[in-house]
Amino acid sequence: MRRHLTFPCMGETLGATLDEAAGDTGLLIVSGGNELRIGAHRGMALAAAAIAAQGFPVFRFDRRGIGESGGINLGFRSSGPDIAAAAAAFRTQAGVGRVVAFGNCDAATALALFHEAAGIDALLLANPWIIEPIDELPPAAVIRARYGERLRSPAEWLRLVRGGVDLRGVIGGVRKIIATKHERSPLMAAFVAGLKQGTPTRILLAEGDNTAIAFASEWRGERLSRQVPVVSRPTASHSFGRDGDGAWLREQMLAALR
């Protein structure tokens, strides 16, 4: 059964949805960006129904200032109280003893930062957001990956010869690659510090997604990468919305819950 409810957080009332099931382990879904709890293309609502059908209750919510929730949207960096209040409401409403939390993009980063205070038992983090933009260009790691693909494509060389390539954009990208020193981003440092608490964690990456490419480039240099498993999906969809992505994501969720 799917049930809509509310719970308090910092003097505000937040909207939530609980897909009920009998299991003692439950899945808390944290939305990324300004996304509603239903998810892109209803992806999180569909996932919740499928997971609950396997015996695991699922709790989704809108953080402050989003969707049906009151308050001001201050972004993922201020979502610690929202996550903690949601986890507490989940335990009260569903009677779960163990909570596994899933988040995509900046929700994954928020979970890494704030899960300990919320008492979350395990993490499933997809395409974590760890690089803040400094200009209109993508991160240097993404530029390198995209240029590598183009250099291997005869069609791209033909476009270049015919003048179909924006040379100013190419030059700007090359300059950024040259100028960018490989320094650890502050968000990655905070992300790693949060995971050092030892909470069981698995990272999911959409191989062709810019956010995932940027994360993977930074993550390879971290010592913690040897201890935290990373599972990749050959898709460019940030929200795992292409054919077969949803089923794959649900499999990863069930594996973490079991």
pTM: 0.82
- Residues 13 and 76 placed together within one structural domain of the fold: yes
Name the residue range of residue 161's domain: 140-179
Q: How far is CA 128 from CA 68, 104, 164, 176, 184, in A?
A: 25, 6, 33, 22, 15
pLDDT above 50 for 6: yes
User: Cα separation of 164 and 75, whole Å?
Assistant: 39
Q: How far is CA 183 from CA 131, 141, 195, 221, in A?
A: 11, 12, 20, 10
- Residue 81, domain CATH: 3.40.50.1820
- Residues 219 and 106 placed together within one structural domain of the fold: yes
3 state SS of 33: coil
Altogether, the residues listed in the chain come to a count of 258
**Residue 176 main-chain phi, psi, to 5 deg:** -65, -40
pLDDT above 90 for 53: yes
Q: Tell me the DSSP string of 183-231.
A: ---HHHHHHHHHHTT---EEEEEETT-HHHHHHHHHHTT-GGGGTS-EE
Express each pLDDT in 66-114 by its tens digit: 999 999 999 999 999 999 999 999 999 999 999 999 999 999 999 999 9
Dihedral over alpha carbons 131, 137, 138, 140 (to 10 degrees): -80
134 contacts 213 by C-beta, under 8 angstroms: no
- Residues 147 and 45 placed together within one structural domain of the fold: no
- Residues 156 and 231 placed together within one structural domain of the fold: no
Q: How far is CA 159 from CA 144, 145, 166, 228, in A?
A: 19, 19, 10, 41
- Residues 29 and 146 placed together within one structural domain of the fold: no
Q: Which two tokens stand for residue 215?
A: 């994360």
Q: How confident is the model at residue 133 (pLDDT cuts 50, 70, 90)?
A: low
Element (H, E) at 101: strand 98-104
- Residues 196 and 94 placed together within one structural domain of the fold: yes
Express each pLDDT in 144-181 by its tens digit: 555 455 545 565 544 544 545 454 554 444 454 444 55
Domain count, the chain: 2
- Residues 71 and 147 placed together within one structural domain of the fold: no
Q: What is the mean pLDDT of residues 27-40?
A: 95
CB-CB neighbours of 117 under 10 Å: 12
Q: How far is CA 16 from CA 40, 65, 86, in A?
A: 16, 13, 8
Express each pLDDT in 185-230 by its tens digit: 899 999 999 998 889 999 999 999 999 999 999 998 898 988 999 9
Q: Which two tokens stand for residue 147?
A: 């240029």
Q: How far is CA 87 from CA 8, 37, 108, 112, in A?
A: 12, 15, 15, 14
- Residues 81 and 162 placed together within one structural domain of the fold: no
Residue 131, pLDDT score: 83
Residue with tokens 């038992």: 121
As separate numbers, helices (DSSP H) first and strands (DSSP E) second, the chain gives 9, 8
Contacts of 92 (CB under 8 A, 6+ apart): none
Maximum CA extent, the chain? 64
- Residues 216 and 145 placed together within one structural domain of the fold: no
